[in-house]
């Protein structure tokens, strides 16, 4: 018997670079403003979960979405950061906030 993930596989894989969408919806959302528009790397697929952002506004009806851990070097976020280049910030984020990186075809 097939599961829901067989019909709706994860869009992104661990190690893949993606962009966090630059959107500004009305209301409270969990994606920090300083992360929007940034290129990040998928570090872990956390499975499918109910998105509380959408659930709070009554738009989700209990549907689950893919949830990921993403990472970005601290040096790419903060100009004055003096720590090692290996220091990373990781956040958990739902797939609807992620966009593929467009590759130049020349």
Cα 89 from Cα 30, distance rounded (Å): 15
CATH number of the domain within which 46 lies: 2.30.30.50
Give the model's pLDDT for residue 73.
97
Residue by residue, DSSP assigns 17-51 as: EEEE-----SS--SS-GGGTT-EEEEEEEEEEEE-
What pTM does this model have? Answer: 0.83
Q: Is the pLDDT of residue 2 over 60?
A: no
Per-residue pLDDT band at 51 (split at 50, 70, 90): confident
Kindly list the distances between the CA atom of residue 38 and the CA atoms of 31, 43, 91, 100, in Å, as whole numbers in the listed order.
Answer: 11, 15, 12, 12
pLDDT value of position 4: 57
Give the number of domains in the chain: 1
What percentage of the chain has pLDDT greater than the value 70? 89
Residue span of the structural domain in which 81 resides: 4-100
Q: What is the pLDDT of residues 72-84, one digit of tens each?
A: 999 999 999 999 9
């Amino acid at each position: 018997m097939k599961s829901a993930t067989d019909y709706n596989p994860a869009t992104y894989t661990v190690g893949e670079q993606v962009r966090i969408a630059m959107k500004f919806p009305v209301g409270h959302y969990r994606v920090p403003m300083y992360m929007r528009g940034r290129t990040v790397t998928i570090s872990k697929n956390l499975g499918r979960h109910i998105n509380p952002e959408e659930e709070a506004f009554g738009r989700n009806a209990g549907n689950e979405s893919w949830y990921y851990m993403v990472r970005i070097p601290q040096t790419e976020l903060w100009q004055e950061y003096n720590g090692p280049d290996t220091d990373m910030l990781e956040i958990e984020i739902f797939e609807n906030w992620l966009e593929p990186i467009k590759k130049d075809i020349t």
